[in-house]
A and B are shown apart, each in its own frame.
Chain A
Amino acid sequence: MTPILETEGLSKRYGRKPALSDCTLTLPPGRIVGLVGPNGAGKSTLLGLACGLIRPTAGSITVLGERPAANATQLARVGFVAQDTPVYSGLSVADHLRLGARLNRSWDQQLAEQRIKQLGLDPAQRAGRLSGGQRAQLALTIAAAKRPELLIFDEPVASLDPLARRAFLRNLLEFVAELDVSVVLSSHVLSDLEQVCDYLVVLVASRVQLAGDVQDLLAEHYLLSGSRADLAGLPATIEVIQVEHTPLRSTAVVRCTTPIPRAILDAEPVSLEQMTMAYLTRAVEMSEPSFSTKALEVQR
């Protein structure tokens, strides 16, 4: 099957500042892909490139096997909900549905109307007067009702309160199951993604740090604890992602594709959060040691 997104050495810079560097990534279809990373990591850039709003500086990108936004057919296959969910403040909710109907050949009016009714939105309401959550729902409705094969969300829940956030994500899950689409969604809050995604991409400081099936990744990562010396003498098959030292003992998140030699150390399974935090911390320490506080934004 065609990957939903395939990039090769993809880079984007704004002036001299890199926003995305040398990103090589293949995302399989039929998944809910979570893209996680701190603010300014390059998530929006990657998603912007994926829907063709931005052009790469170097490298290549294909979405569902074609160049993003190459033609109307390609546009019809990808639904995109941008960060802060832009809508026309002067147009009413009904106008937005009409906009969708006129601008998409594959538009599912019934689905759109049903969702608007479910959400309790007044069709005559101007979009500028909707709350943040309602706006996000409206934008999601427009993206979904065009019946795409791939739905991309850029920080869909960033502006929502915890309740609205949970409702939005649950709603999203139901409807993904119903529509049978692949989904890519980004967030700087891991807990949002943990609930829904089965594939994870960690992006920090304009580089991809980790990408893979959540179950596979968890199976390959371990939490080791022992003395400083123990951790220093690990075999080459074990990649140390991040180590933390306390006076008494040290703990390390490691990656190992082969079963871990049991004898030396105390190996425990790792949680998704521990694993992600390890990659984030490592990346932040490597790129800008003084800015490691940024990683703190990625938290439960």
Chain B
Amino acid sequence: MIWLAWRQFRIQLLVTLAAIAALAIYLVFFGRGVHHFYDTQIAGCTGETCANAQEVFNDKYFNESMLIGAALLFLPALIGCFWGAPLIARELETGTHRLVWNQSVTRTRWLAVKLGFIALFSLAVTGLLSLLLSWAAQPIDKLFGSRFGPMTFDSRDIAPLGYAVFAFILGTTIGLLIRRTLPAMAVTLAIFIAVQIAMPTLIRPHLMSPITSTVAFTSDFLENKQIDGIGSSGTSGGSSGDTTPVGIFGYNKPGAWVLSSPFHALLKADGSAFTRVDMRSCMTGEQTRDGTCLASKNVHFNITYHPASRYWTFQWIETAIFLALALALAAVCFWRIPRGFS
């Protein structure tokens, strides 16, 4: 049975191996370039030189790393479409299931070998690419990327493994239920893309309950570019009257995933809103002085976030979810396949 699985999958396997080899070599070169640049020009740099070197670094490597990330996001969709959907649908469509299921191998075993063989290969392929990309892009992610960004999270470390196995078994199941290759491929693609959009936007933020904590405003926020700005905007309370609340825009907590909107209202020690009239005395135009002045007023704001330390927990939870979904779908296949096909 393993021979047949190999024989029928041979061309796909060889084409994939060739493509993977090319991509892996490219990634190794890319990664060496990235690491070399980082080690020689950014690690241990100081002051403004640092920011400028980062600018060149960004210009040189960022787009390329996004493109490879996008390819890795797309790879599971390809596996589901081209390996999953035709696996059973094509046998049913050409009638060859009547040949192969009448050899002395039960349909369950036939399915188990096919699913196991190709799922393992999918794991190996995505695993290798993910490993290489995670290594190659590591300095870029450290400087520019949020590890929780949807494109980054899904294309690094172990998350791609869950997606790949899930997409493959999703395609197989849909092929088994629809019994026609082309429609099954289209439906697989549509469902998988929907899952890929829904997961980071609707589901992932709630996988663990986020932490809400109070951050005290300190004078170094502005200097370290940890916030994008202070003030008010149209949505934060209308015109710039005296009672308009003032807040922080775009607070950036390194490594963490901030869920609340980019506007965080500043609060006084007693919890009441910090307004324009309160801030007036700190508006001289000189950034450093204003920062110190505001800090002395003992103001704070609330943020809702997932701390950086949860990154690996999230990676494991998400991988586990998709592996569990894949198992459930595989169970549907194993339940369905001994039942009749006319």
Q: Which residues of A contact B (CB under 8 A)?
A: 14, 45, 48, 51-55, 69, 71-73, 75-76, 78-80, 82, 84, 86-91, 95, 98-100, 102-106, 139, 142-143, 146
Q: Interface extent on B, as a size class? A: 20 to 34
Complex Cα spacing A229 to B342, Å: 48
CB–CB A87/B7 < 8 A: no
A to B CB contacts below 8 Å, 5 in the list:
A53-B98, A88-B94, A91-B7, A99-B4, A106-B104
Which one of B8, B98, B342 lies within 8 Å of A80 (CB-CB)?
Answer: B98
CB–CB B99/A55 < 8 A: no
Complex Cα spacing A73 to B107, Å: 13
CB–CB B7/A75 < 8 A: no
A54-B340, A54-B341, A86-B96 given; A102·B102 CB < 8 A: no
CB–CB B340/A53 < 8 A: yes
Q: Mark B102-136, 1 if CB is under 8 A from A, else 0.
A: 11111101000000000000000000000000000
Complex Cα spacing A278 to B105, Å: 42
A69-B101, A82-B95, A103-B100 given; A98·B3 CB < 8 A: yes
In addition to A48-B340, A88-B8, A104-B104, 6 A-B residue pairs with Cβ atoms within 8 Å of each other are A45-B342, A69-B106, A72-B106, A87-B99, A103-B100, A143-B102
B105 to chain A, nearest CB (A): 5
With CB as the reference atom, state the residue of chain B lying closest to A143: B102
With CB as the reference atom, state the residue of chain A lying closest to B104: A76
Complex Cα spacing A89 to B93, Å: 13
A55-B339, A55-B340, A98-B3 given; A104·B98 CB < 8 A: no
B1 touches A (CB below 8 Å):
yes
Chain A residues closer than 8 Å to B340, beta-carbon distance? 48, 53-55
B132 to chain A, nearest CB (A): 33
Chain B residues closer than 8 Å to A105, beta-carbon distance? 104
A54-B342, A99-B4 given; A75·B95 CB < 8 A: no
CB–CB B7/A48 < 8 A: no
Which one of A78, A84, A95 lies within 8 Å of B102 (CB-CB)?
Answer: A78
With CB as the reference atom, state the residue of chain B lying closest to A106: B104
CB–CB A103/B105 < 8 A: yes
Which 9 residue pairs of A and B lie closest in terms of their CB atoms, listed nearest first? A82-B98, A103-B103, A76-B104, A55-B340, A86-B95, A54-B340, A80-B102, A104-B104, A102-B3
Chain B residues closer than 8 Å to A86, beta-carbon distance? 94-96, 98-99
A82-B95, A86-B95, A86-B99 given; A95·B7 CB < 8 A: yes
CB–CB B7/A99 < 8 A: yes
B232 to chain A, nearest CB (A): 66
A54-B340, A72-B109 given; A142·B99 CB < 8 A: yes
CB–CB B104/A103 < 8 A: yes
A13 to chain B, nearest CB (A): 11
CB–CB A72/B105 < 8 A: yes
Chain B residues closer than 8 Å to A88, beta-carbon distance? 8, 94, 96, 99
Chain A residues closer than 8 Å to B1, beta-carbon distance? 102-103
With CB as the reference atom, state the residue of chain A lying closest to B102: A80
CB–CB B99/A82 < 8 A: yes
Chain A residues closer than 8 Å to B8, beta-carbon distance? 88, 90-91
A53 to chain B, nearest CB (A): 6
A285 to chain B, nearest CB (A): 28
With CB as the reference atom, state the residue of chain B lying closest to A99: B4
Residue from A14, A55, A87, A103 whose CB has the most chain B CB atoms within 10 Å: A103
B12 to chain A, nearest CB (A): 12
With CB as the reference atom, state the residue of chain B lying closest to A104: B104
CB–CB A99/B106 < 8 A: no
Complex Cα spacing A53 to B340, Å: 5
Chain B residues closer than 8 Å to A98, beta-carbon distance? 3, 7
Chain A residues closer than 8 Å to B107, beta-carbon distance? 69
A248 to chain B, nearest CB (A): 48
CB–CB A89/B94 < 8 A: yes
With CB as the reference atom, state the residue of chain A lying closest to B11: A90
Complex Cα spacing A100 to B99, Å: 10
CB–CB B4/A102 < 8 A: yes
Complex Cα spacing A163 to B98, Å: 26
A203 to chain B, nearest CB (A): 17
Chain B residues closer than 8 Å to A52, beta-carbon distance? 101
Complex Cα spacing A45 to B342, Å: 8
Chain B residues closer than 8 Å to A100, beta-carbon distance? 103
Complex Cα spacing A14 to B340, Å: 11
A54-B341, A55-B340, A99-B7 given; A104·B96 CB < 8 A: no
